[in-house]
């Protein structure tokens, strides 16, 4: 990799009806906090709106890291569950796109970071399931206050994990906005943070913590904390290392 080139981070987006001037159309949409956190951490952000799955391979050939962002609920049909009345309407195009990106990233050893919905997509891709409405499962609304207000929750980060290497082990306060969460953990994943009610708040791949197999996912929204970019910095570092390895392979 050119020493002057920033690591290129692909960031998935929503596809929403949006108004701008006289136009009212479906458009790619992503809060600035996501790609602002990437650039503030030394990466270059490229937005990846839902597209046909066949485009995933071409996209993955041009990025060094992948962020699966927050958004609408994953389709419960993907993990064999009946739809809860409060589960969001299906976003089949986004689910298929992100699952294709994740599969391709794993095949290529591209570093992956999942945020909120992104964690849930990864868990489902690895064979896990989700609680579709946490107030039913846990009896609390602590994770989604509503009205666009993020809830502060304390999570306990386990030691001897990649996450602990980024945030430190022990309690940390995070910003939450979700009504679903991990039920059965996917195969090959290990929990690295929980809240005091037992809900999974972060996981990563089980095994070694070297940069050539980087996957970290958190249930909270680290992009909301402008004073703390450690999770984004961790992905950018892993992406830079991946780009160097890929460049060395091409040169060889």
pLDDT (tens digit, 9 = 90+) per residue, 77-116?
999 999 999 999 999 999 999 999 999 999 999 999 999 9
Select from 180, 178, 173, 117 the least CA-distant residue to 146.
178
What CA–CA distance (Å, rounded) separates 63 from 105? 10
Residue of 98, 204, 223, 237 with catalytic role: 223
The alpha carbon of 51 is separated from its chain's Cα centroid by a whole number of angstroms, namely 18
Please determine, looking at this structure, whether the domain spanning 8-251 carries the CATH number 3.30.930.10: no
Residue of 98, 179, 221, 237 with catalytic role: 221
What confidence score (pLDDT) does residue 246 get?
86
Binned at pLDDT 50, 70 and 90, residue 17 comes out as confident
Residue of 116, 131, 178, 237 with catalytic role: 116
Kindly tell me if the per-residue pLDDT of 53 is higher than 80: yes
Binned at pLDDT 50, 70 and 90, residue 248 comes out as confident
Kindly tell me if the per-residue pLDDT of 58 is higher than 60: yes
Q: Which of 26-30, 60-64, 133-137 has the lowest mean pLDDT?
A: 26-30
Read off the pLDDT of residues 201-245 as tens digits, 9 standing for 90 and up: 999 999 866 667 899 999 999 999 998 999 999 999 999 999 999
What confidence score (pLDDT) does residue 219 get?
98
Break the chain into its structural domains and give their ranges.
Answer: 8-251
When pLDDT is averaged across residues 153-175 and rounded to a whole number, the result is 96
What confidence score (pLDDT) does residue 1 get?
47
Whether 98 sits among the annotated catalytic residues: the reply is no
Whether 77 sits among the annotated catalytic residues: the reply is no
pTM (two decimals): 0.95
Share of the chain above pLDDT 70, in %: 96
The residue assigned the tokens 């600035």 is: 32
Whether 116 sits among the annotated catalytic residues: the reply is yes
């Amino acid at each position: 990799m050119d020493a002057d080139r920033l690591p290129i981070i692909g960031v998935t987006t929503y596809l929403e009806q949006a108004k701008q001037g006289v136009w009212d159309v479906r458009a790619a949409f992503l809060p600035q906090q996501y790609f602002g956190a990437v650039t503030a951490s030394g990466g270059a952000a490229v937005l990846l709106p839902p597209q046909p799955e066949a485009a995933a391979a071409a996209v993955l050939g041009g990025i060094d890291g992948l962020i699966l962002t927050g958004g609408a609920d994953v389709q419960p049909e993907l993990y064999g569950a009946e739809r809860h009345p409060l589960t969001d309407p299906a976003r089949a195009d986004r689910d298929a796109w992100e699952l294709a990106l994740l599969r391709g990233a794993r095949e290529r050893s591209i570093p992956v970071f999942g945020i909120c919905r992104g964690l849930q997509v990864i868990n489902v891709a690895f064979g896990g399931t989700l609680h579709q409405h946490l107030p039913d499962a846990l009896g609390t609304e602590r994770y989604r206050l509503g009205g666009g207000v993020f809830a502060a929750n304390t999570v306990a980060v386990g030691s001897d994990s990649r996450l602990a290497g980024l945030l430190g082990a022990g309690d940390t306060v995070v910003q939450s906005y979700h009504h679903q969460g991990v039920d059965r953990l996917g195969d090959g994943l290990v929990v690295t943070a929980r809240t005091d009610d037992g809900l999974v708040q972060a996981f990563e791949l089980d095994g070694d913590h070297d940069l050539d197999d980087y996957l970290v996912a958190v249930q909270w929204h680290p992009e909301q904390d402008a004073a703390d970019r450690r999770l984004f910095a961790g992905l950018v570092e892993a992406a830079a290392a991946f780009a160097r390895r890929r460049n060395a392979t091409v040169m060889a």
